[in-house]
Amino acid sequence: MTRQIGLRAKDHVTGLAAVLGVVSVALVFAVAGGLVPADGIPRSEALLAAVPHVNAVVSVLAIGAILDGWRAVRRGNVDRHRTLMIAALVLFLTFLVLYLYKVVLAGPTPFDGPDVVYRFVYLPVLAIHVILAVVTLPVLYYVLLVGLTHPVAEIPDTPHPRVGRVAAALWLVSFVLGLVVYALLYLVPL
C-alpha cells in the first residue's frame, strides 16, 4: 500500500506542488489579512517579543543550510545535500509558524522610520521578499517532492537539478531580504 501511494505521488509531483503551494500561500494571506481568529491560541508576550529575533537566527541558519547543501551536491555528496535541504525546510517551517503566530496575535510590525525610507527602501524590499517567498513555495515543494519520491539514481534525469538551483537561489534571496526587513524594523536606528 505504501509503495502505491509513493508511486502516485511520484506521478503527480507537479500537481501536488501546485496544490501545496496554493494552500500554503492562502494560509499565509489569510493570517496576514486577519481572517484567522486569535481565539484559542495561547498568548505569550515573551514569545511574541522574541519571535522576530528568533526568526532572524533561524533565517541565518537556513541560509547556511541552503549554501552548504548546494556545495554538498556540487561535490557529489547527495546524502548531505538531502539532509541539509530538509534541515533548511524545517527551519523555514519553524520561521513560518513563529511568524504566523506573531501576526495572528499581534499583527504585523509597523515601520517607524522616516517616510522616505519607508517608501523607497522598506516597502520595495518587503515587496520583493514577499513576492519571492510566494513564488518560491511551489518550486520548493516541487524539488522536495521529486527528491523524496525518486530514487537518487533517477534524480539527475529529472528537472530537479535545474529547478533546484532556481529554488535555492530564490530561497536565499528571500531569506536575505527578510533579514534586511528585520534590520530595518529592529536594528537600524532611523
Domains of the chain and any CATH numbers: 2-187 (1.20.120)
Whether the per-residue pLDDT at 48 is higher than 80: the answer is yes
Amino acid at 175: F
CA–CA gap between residue 159 and residue 71 (Å, rounded): 19
CA–CA gap between residue 148 and residue 129 (Å, rounded): 27
**Mean pLDDT in residue range 145-171:** 95
The answer to whether 84 touches 72, Cβ cutoff 8 Å, is: yes
- Give residue 11's pLDDT: 87
Which stretches within the chain are classed as H helix? 2-11, 13-32, 45-74, 78-106, 115-117, 123-149, 160-182
- Give residue 4's pLDDT: 54
Whether the per-residue pLDDT at 118 is higher than 90: the answer is yes
CA–CA gap between residue 103 and residue 100 (Å, rounded): 5
Query: Among residues of the chain, what percentage have pLDDT more than 70?
Result: 96
CA–CA gap between residue 108 and residue 47 (Å, rounded): 15
